[in-house]
Amino acid sequence: MPKSLFEAEEKNAEGFAKECAVVTHYRLQNDPDNPGKLRVDPEAKLEEELVVRPTSEAIIWNTYKGWIQSYRDLPLLINQWANVVRWEMRTRLFLRTAEFLWQEGHTAHATKTEALAEAETMNNVYATFAENFMAIPVIQGLKSESERFAGADETYCIEALMQDGKALQAGTSHFLGQNFAKAFDVKFTNKEGKQDYVWATSWGVSTRLMGALIMTHSDDQGLVLPPNLAPNQVVVVPIYKTEEQLEEITKIVNNILKDLRSKGITVKYDNRTTHRPGAKFAQHELQGVPLRIAIGLRDLENGTVELARRDTLTKETVAINSLTEKVEGLMTEIQESLYNKALKFRDSHITEVDNFEDFKAILKNKGGFISAHWDGTVETEEKIKEITKATIRCLPLEGELEDGFCVYSKKPSNRRVLFAKAY
Amino acid sequence: MPKSLFEAEEKNAEGFAKECAVVTHYRLQNDPDNPGKLRVDPEAKLEEELVVRPTSEAIIWNTYKGWIQSYRDLPLLINQWANVVRWEMRTRLFLRTAEFLWQEGHTAHATKTEALAEAETMNNVYATFAENFMAIPVIQGLKSESERFAGADETYCIEALMQDGKALQAGTSHFLGQNFAKAFDVKFTNKEGKQDYVWATSWGVSTRLMGALIMTHSDDQGLVLPPNLAPNQVVVVPIYKTEEQLEEITKIVNNILKDLRSKGITVKYDNRTTHRPGAKFAQHELQGVPLRIAIGLRDLENGTVELARRDTLTKETVAINSLTEKVEGLMTEIQESLYNKALKFRDSHITEVDNFEDFKAILKNKGGFISAHWDGTVETEEKIKEITKATIRCLPLEGELEDGFCVYSKKPSNRRVLFAKAY
């Protein structure tokens, strides 16, 4: 986006200016000093630099300006999948990459109430997806002022806990107030014929969710995928020596595939002749396929197969005639089991703390979320971060009001918030 | 991608160097001379410039180098959706934008035969999608050397014809030979234990297909969407004066919606109270909804609705009890009718030409594809382009060999190729 658009919403620009990729030229040319190499063509300098978008509000609201005149044009929702760039000092695979693919939704509303409701709805959508599909329990909450999206009046978030005790912000949904409407002069005529600025939200999740998935469920054998998300829920591996044996096994397997697929289960038959069963087992474990079916000659005789669960690494022998039913049941069981295991871990890593010594000790020895009173000031938040590296992950939506004293400043507080070290 | 990766495959780099966005800095700062404005931070200059990818072969093959050692690792296919940037001199909405979203697939193979087959397969996939879903007839062919993808040994393409008589390249699939494997040193051990370079393909379609869709089927009322692609195949608009009337109509409509949806038809009930029926009709026509159902008070009495086809703009009255069957039939009929109309137009705009005067006259007065003999040289191709602005769109795969003389140079030729002015 042109620099002039980028800088229009001041807080947003300020928040991202320190970490954005800037396009200054539009051409390379052969380097006369290094044959076969290219250099930037100094003649191809842009009059106005472009910023590779770190997020698209500026472009969206510059566009909405031309689209919105009346309440009849509202509400308006645009969702786009796009690559964005944020020039991070320290990158981390999946979690914090300089470039990432995400979906970003941008809505425009006639009223504050409707915009707030939309921001909440989308945060719910993200929570539901994380929990029901990814089997990742999340805490819904609001960000503190200093952790808010630059340009937002309120940031809703879903926070997950990784196996190493660090928190991960897995998705955010922002109530943008009228900030972008004012920066880009987007007004509408309401039902009463009066002009007003439009109310806005934006929300996104990114490939960071892949990181969340990996770090929530994986073990030393590799990835563990929840059935509701696995591209292949089941893999079938034949155990054979001769081609004739493979043919015989394949006949039985074809029926198994047909039955499983008729129940909507995705299943892959790994009949590659280039790899031994052991190598296949290791690969599918590494890739997290929820369930493996192995079938060999003795199974043919006995009318059985061997089932291996990825999540528990347990095996059992099952009769082929009850296999489909068994697999169907396991899909639900594995999904629930992964979620419950992560939930148990998460819940056992939320520690209520009432003094700063305990705060530091828990953070050091146990990790996870710390539920503590906070005096609501940016100064305290910064001080705690400076000393412990823990930040306020969110003010949980479900948290109840409770009188107490700030864990750091000992000033009065009326609710607990969640602190954690975070990715 | 880092400039050094970008320049590794020489032809590819040469092809794109003249039109690429170059990132030279990673930070903006407040402009001391212009309060509230930002400027590039001169301290944040990159040691090595980054090129915003115009296409991703360089990144992919630099990655494949670490993934491929043996024939067991092949074939390998990665498809990604990504934004890419090509610094076009003249941009054109949907057809030629500086940035566009596309899917790009990249495959690696042990043999030339397999790679060639993959390139053909993917070109077929694109042709099938264009014809069966988008209702756009396409010609499959090979590009001439000068129109080939930079770095490819062969480029397959699908070429469509727009209503204004200009051709549009709607998708491409490249056989890359061993060019990228050699540039990035990607070797594998084959079954015989010998080292060889890997064979490659890449293929992509982009948001340009949106342009193809718009320019193939639209009319003066706006977009015309084929039912197989329309997000809403049917829209229902109630015609009423009072709220009670709307309630009565809605009762009937709810049954209609249920019946249509039970047949897999996507249907939207436009019961907005903010817009009059006329405004709704105009909007749905503009947006190309294939079929509109209007239902008013007289329809309630008669047990009928009014059906309006977007493609023919014709209306008819239909009894509600035969509506679902009627709509189902129309979905197929409209889909076929759009395709056949476009096919008829396309076929009537392929003109066989045997001398250059006719070539120029047809191009000027009729447009479309010109099927003509060509001597196979880059010189002739360039000369024709210089004089007429027409380029060789493709050497059609279905074209038969036929002896003749080049339409420009009069040298012998053994096949006709397709020329056209193109987007």
Residue B265: which residues within 8 A CB-CB, separation 6 or more?
B233, B234, B327, B328, B331
Contact across the interface for A6 and B50, Cβ inside 8 Å: no
- Predicted local confidence at residue A348, as pLDDT: 98
- Predicted local confidence at residue A399, as pLDDT: 77
pLDDT of residue A246 exceeding 90, the answer is: yes
Domain for residue B408, yes or no?
Answer: yes
The DSSP bridge partners found for residue B286 are none
- Say if residue B194 is in the same domain as residue B80: yes
Q: Which of B278, B308, B334 is the C-terminal boundary of a domain? A: B334
pLDDT of residue B318 exceeding 80, the answer is: yes
CB proximity B38 to A under 8 Å: yes
Measure the CA–CA gap between B58 and B158, rounded to whole angstroms: 24
User: ipTM of this complex > 0.95?
Assistant: no
Nearest C-alpha neighbor of B12 from the set B48, B68, B49, B54: B54
Q: What would the pLDDT profile of A35-46 be if each residue is shown by its tens digit?
A: 889 999 999 999
Looking at chain A, which residue has its C-alpha nearest residue B280? A72
- Say if residue A312 is in the same domain as residue A194: no
Domain for residue A269, yes or no?
Answer: yes
- Predicted local confidence at residue A271, as pLDDT: 96
Looking at chain B, which residue has its C-alpha nearest residue A98? B26
CB proximity A282 to B under 8 Å: no
Count of residues in chain A? 423
pLDDT of residue B89 exceeding 90, the answer is: no
pTM score, two decimals?
A: 0.92
Looking at chain A, which residue has its C-alpha nearest residue B1? A99
Q: What angle do CA B23, B29, B31 make, to 5 degrees?
A: 115
CB proximity A83 to B under 8 Å: yes
- Say if residue A60 is in the same domain as residue A187: yes
Q: What would the pLDDT profile of B20-67 be if each residue is shown by its tens digit?
A: 999 999 999 999 999 889 999 999 999 999 999 999 999 999 999 999
Task: Give the distance, in angstroms, between the CA of residue A253 and the centroid of all CA atoms in the same chain.
Answer: 37
Q: What would the pLDDT profile of B193-243 be if each residue is shown by its tens digit?
A: 999 999 999 999 999 999 999 999 999 999 999 999 999 999 999 999 999
Contact across the interface for A23 and B18, Cβ inside 8 Å: no
- Say if residue A135 is in the same domain as residue A213: yes
Measure the CA–CA gap between A418 and A404, rounded to whole angstroms: 15
Count of residues in chain B? 423
Task: List the single residue in B17, B18, B28 with the smallest CB-CB distance to A22.
Answer: B28
Residue B356: which residues within 8 A CB-CB, separation 6 or more?
B407, B408
Domain for residue B173, yes or no?
Answer: yes
What is the average per-residue pLDDT within B61-89? 96
Q: What would the pLDDT profile of B374-395 be if each residue is shown by its tens digit?
A: 999 999 999 999 999 999 999 9
Domain for residue A180, yes or no?
Answer: yes
- Say if residue B325 is in the same domain as residue B250: yes
Q: How confident is the model at residue A400 (pLDDT cuts 50, 70, 90)?
A: confident
CB proximity A90 to B under 8 Å: no
Q: How confident is the model at residue A250 (pLDDT cuts 50, 70, 90)?
A: very high
- Predicted local confidence at residue B279, as pLDDT: 96
CB contacts of A40 in chain B (<8 Å) are 22, 24, 49
- Say if residue B88 is in the same domain as residue B180: yes
- Say if residue B158 is in the same domain as residue B255: no
Expressed in angstroms, the distance from the first to the final Cα of chain A is: 28
Contact across the interface for A24 and B29, Cβ inside 8 Å: no
Measure the CA–CA gap between A211 and A213, rounded to whole angstroms: 5
CB contacts of A72 in chain B (<8 Å) are 274-275
- Predicted local confidence at residue B263, as pLDDT: 97
Cβ atoms of B160 and B137 closer than 8 Å: yes
CA atoms within 13 A on the CB side of A241: 2
CB contacts of A280 in chain B (<8 Å) are none
CB contacts of A101 in chain B (<8 Å) are 81-82
Q: How confident is the model at residue B400 (pLDDT cuts 50, 70, 90)?
A: confident
Task: List the single residue in B17, B28, B83 with the smallest CB-CB distance to A17.
Answer: B28
Q: How confident is the model at residue A393 (pLDDT cuts 50, 70, 90)?
A: very high
Residue A324: which residues within 8 A CB-CB, separation 6 or more?
A256, A259, A260, A263
Find the domain containing A307 and state its range.
234-336
Q: Is A12 exposed, middle or buried (0-12, 13-18, 19+ CB in 10 A)?
A: buried
Q: Which of B151, B181, B216 is the C-terminal boundary of a domain? A: B216
**SS3 at position B48:** strand
- Predicted local confidence at residue B399, as pLDDT: 78
Q: What would the pLDDT profile of B2-23 be if each residue is shown by its tens digit?
A: 999 999 999 999 999 999 999 9
Contact across the interface for A20 and B10, Cβ inside 8 Å: no
Q: What would the pLDDT profile of B266-305 be if each residue is shown by its tens digit?
A: 999 999 998 999 999 999 999 999 999 999 999 999 999 9
Task: List the single residue in B6, B38, B275 with the smallest CB-CB distance to A13.
Answer: B38
- Average per-residue pLDDT for chain A: 97
Give the count of domains, chain A: 3
- Predicted local confidence at residue A67, as pLDDT: 97
What is the average per-residue pLDDT within A250-276? 97
Looking at residue A307, which CATH number applies to its domain?
3.40.50.800
Smallest CA–CA distance, residue B18 to chain A, in Å, is 5
CB proximity A10 to B under 8 Å: yes
- Predicted local confidence at residue A113, as pLDDT: 98
Q: What would the pLDDT profile of A201-211 be if each residue is shown by its tens digit?
A: 999 999 999 99
Domain for residue B36, yes or no?
Answer: no
What is the average per-residue pLDDT within B100-123? 98
Q: Which of A305, A336, A367 is the C-terminal boundary of a domain? A: A336
Q: What would the pLDDT profile of A153-185 be if each residue is shown by its tens digit?
A: 999 999 999 999 999 999 999 999 999 999 999
Looking at residue A213, which CATH number applies to its domain?
3.30.930.10
